[in-house]
Chain A
């Protein structure tokens, strides 16, 4: 009923007012969300550039004023100093629907304004004076005004603004964005401001806190393992996110001067773009292990165009470049779709989540302010925290994957180790078996070798025995000669004896008997001599390990000299050599194994005789082959020298002559063991055998044997 009354009254009220100014009637149906009536886009505004104090006067004649809404403010209004100054006037009234609502005036733009109601200043937003101060509209509670329904009011606004780089909020904004130049608001709006402040603190705190924690976490990872490039990338990203969170929420916590605020805004816008598309770098790095120039170019272009869009309200370059970025992202995802799984999905989410959040944020701001006003903070929280949280998820998943790998590898290693162990055990068994086989073979070889050695030693003995045989035969010949002759003579004597007995010549008989007896003694003596020679020969061929006995070295040397000489003579009847002996009668009996030492002497003498015989074959008639043997008493023992005047031993083979099987004699003539055995025998006697030789002049072997 009351409403109806007001509607009836309205035309009347309008007619009462100035004809050139229409009266705007406000009703509660005009409230948009949060009980706001945006006055700027409404009909009825008049505008005049410049400023005069009386332009606030409700009775002023405004017939020369221009019809213009505050949403049409633009840069063409500025004077030569860049100052944009003017007055807006609006006549309005409330209908009955508004009568019960406590109203207030609010502003959400930065231009400095003085607001007058019916000529009375109700609020100065910023300072319109010469020292211009912009109004900071962030989190400001509205200014209550007292209005009565049915009454007409004149709203006069004196506004001043400057076009600077950062003036986008006023002079370069599109009309749509200038609609909250001046608003009439109800108490729900005040409630919303209250709630918005709370939400700002809540989400601001959350975003900055979480971003700071992740920042610390990621940089800790970098410190712990700087070689991981991916950690650097993620930590760098987290740094940008933290700065973005701080720059976004800072102005809710602390009111900034206008220029600083503008700088903050520019920084925030840049970081915001960066935060949203940062994941692209990381995704590309993970997929291609490099960051392409195209990506860098795209990011730079997107950030630049985003800044341009915010500063100058030119959004199409941003739209194009951002689309390009999305296309490239999709291209990456499609190209590497097989590779993207597990932890990498988190990286994709780190791009997708803030991108979607940002898209939603921008869309709401553009198409649904009520929703925007209600949800901008949680959506912004997604743009800020989406990427770093997803990277935390990525790192956690990678950690799990790595652990999984490590576990698998460890199991493989364990398996391989066990297989190796088994293999090794098998091989050990095989090896042991082989070693045993080889050892048995070696043992057998050693036994064979020892047997062969024994045989060789025996054959060497037999070889020297062969050399001896002829000598011995000659030596035996002498006693045998006596035995034969004396027995023959004795036979004759017995015949004579019988004759004398017949004649009875007893004296003769006696004489003959004495002779026979004497002869028998001689036969016995020479028999013994032959026996001794044969025994010596047997002894020579017998195997070693005969005990030492006191031995006359001179006698031994003489004996073997003759044996050797006659041995050679027996084989080669043409052989002849002068044998010299110089025996030192002062030498004492020595404890030696006579047949062993004899073998040595036989060897040396035989070699000497062989040497002179060889030389004789080539030397002229003046050469007289001579072999000398000498003994000499020495302190602590005896020295035996065997000397020849043969060709000597060439230097090249001198150090080989004592080696087993070394021989200069033609094949089959020498075993090559003679000197080697001699060396061993002398060593076994604790003595030494040395050789001095002059090529072409002869060789001397020197044996030194200690007393015991």
Chain B
């Protein structure tokens, strides 16, 4: 399973790599990282006909996570990627907007990796 993590915090990459080191080693998952919405879209374009799961932060400079969500869900990528939104705020507005735009799941910071793993295994 290919997972694209979108977050402006660069240390997220190291965190994910270490947290999922066993899964990576057993090649259960492959991680890709983008530091902005634009970068994420570019990465996605290069992955044609591949099932991708996207984990995106909402609050980013430039394109926000919600914009990215909208673009991905309405975009040409097939099959339509599963998108999980991550935010520091568990507010209804963001949650509802994310749902409306077709977000598949919603996570709040700080990320509970055990919960995330469970969710990933389900999909």
Identify the A interface with B (CB < 8 A): 474, 477-478, 480-482, 484-486, 489, 493, 515, 518-519, 522, 525-526, 569-570, 573-576, 581
Q: Is A581 in contact with B19, judged by CB distance below 8 angstroms?
A: no
Q: Is A522 in contact with B61, judged by CB distance below 8 angstroms?
A: no
Identify the B interface with A (CB < 8 A): 9, 11, 14-15, 18-19, 61, 88-94, 109-111, 113
Name the B residues within 8 Å of A481 (CB-CB). Answer: 109-111
Q: Is B93 in contact with A489, judged by CB distance below 8 angstroms?
A: no
Name the A residues within 8 Å of B113 (CB-CB). Answer: 485
Q: How far is the CB of B96 from chain A (nearest CB, A)?
A: 9
Show 12 A/B contacts (Cβ-Cβ < 8 Å), sorted by A.
Answer: A474-B89, A477-B109, A481-B110, A484-B110, A485-B15, A485-B110, A489-B18, A493-B18, A515-B18, A519-B14, A573-B91, A573-B94
Q: Is A573 in contact with B89, judged by CB distance below 8 angstroms?
A: yes
Q: How far is the CB of B29 from chain A (nearest CB, A)?
A: 16
Other CB < 8 Å A-B pairs besides A482-B11, A569-B89, 8 of them? A474-B89, A478-B109, A485-B111, A522-B11, A522-B14, A570-B89, A573-B90, A573-B92
Q: How far is the CB of B87 from chain A (nearest CB, A)?
A: 10
Name the B residues within 8 Å of A570 (CB-CB). Answer: 89
Q: Is B9 in contact with A478, judged by CB distance below 8 angstroms?
A: yes
Q: Is B19 in contact with A485, judged by CB distance below 8 angstroms?
A: yes
CA of A489 to CA of B61, assembled, Å? 28
Q: How far is the CB of A478 from chain B (nearest CB, A)?
A: 6
CA of A484 to CA of B19, assembled, Å? 12
Q: How far is the CB of A356 from chain B (nearest CB, A)?
A: 129
Q: Is A518 in contact with B93, judged by CB distance below 8 angstroms?
A: no
CA of A485 to CA of B93, assembled, Å? 27
Would A574 and B19 be within 8 Å (CB), given that A478-B109, A482-B11, A522-B14 are in contact? no
CA of A570 to CA of B15, assembled, Å? 26
CA of A522 to CA of B12, assembled, Å? 11
Q: How far is the CB of B94 from chain A (nearest CB, A)?
A: 8
Q: Is B93 in contact with A482, judged by CB distance below 8 angstroms?
A: no
Name the B residues within 8 Å of A574 (CB-CB). Answer: 91-93
Q: How far is the CB of B99 from chain A (nearest CB, A)?
A: 15
CA of A526 to CA of B12, assembled, Å? 12
Residue from B61, B89, B92, B94 having most chain A Cβ neighbours under 10 A: B89
CA of A575 to CA of B93, assembled, Å? 8
Q: How far is the CB of B37 from chain A (nearest CB, A)?
A: 14
Residue ID in chain A nearest B97 by CB atoms:
A576
Q: Is B88 in contact with A478, judged by CB distance below 8 angstroms?
A: yes
Residue from B19, B88, B93, B111 having most chain A Cβ neighbours under 10 A: B88
Q: Is B110 in contact with A489, judged by CB distance below 8 angstroms?
A: no
Name the A residues within 8 Å of B111 (CB-CB). Answer: 481, 485
Name the B residues within 8 Å of A486 (CB-CB). Answer: 11, 14-15, 18
Residue ID in chain A nearest B7 by CB atoms:
A478
Q: How far is the CB of B56 from chain A (nearest CB, A)?
A: 15
Q: Is B93 in contact with A576, judged by CB distance below 8 angstroms?
A: yes
Q: Which 10 A-B pairs have the closest CB atoms?
A: A573-B91, A481-B110, A574-B93, A489-B18, A485-B15, A474-B88, A482-B11, A477-B88, A481-B109, A522-B11
CA of A482 to CA of B89, assembled, Å? 17
Name the A residues within 8 Å of B91 (CB-CB). Answer: 569, 573-574
Name the B residues within 8 Å of A485 (CB-CB). Answer: 15, 19, 110-111, 113
Q: Is A477 in contact with B110, judged by CB distance below 8 angstroms?
A: yes
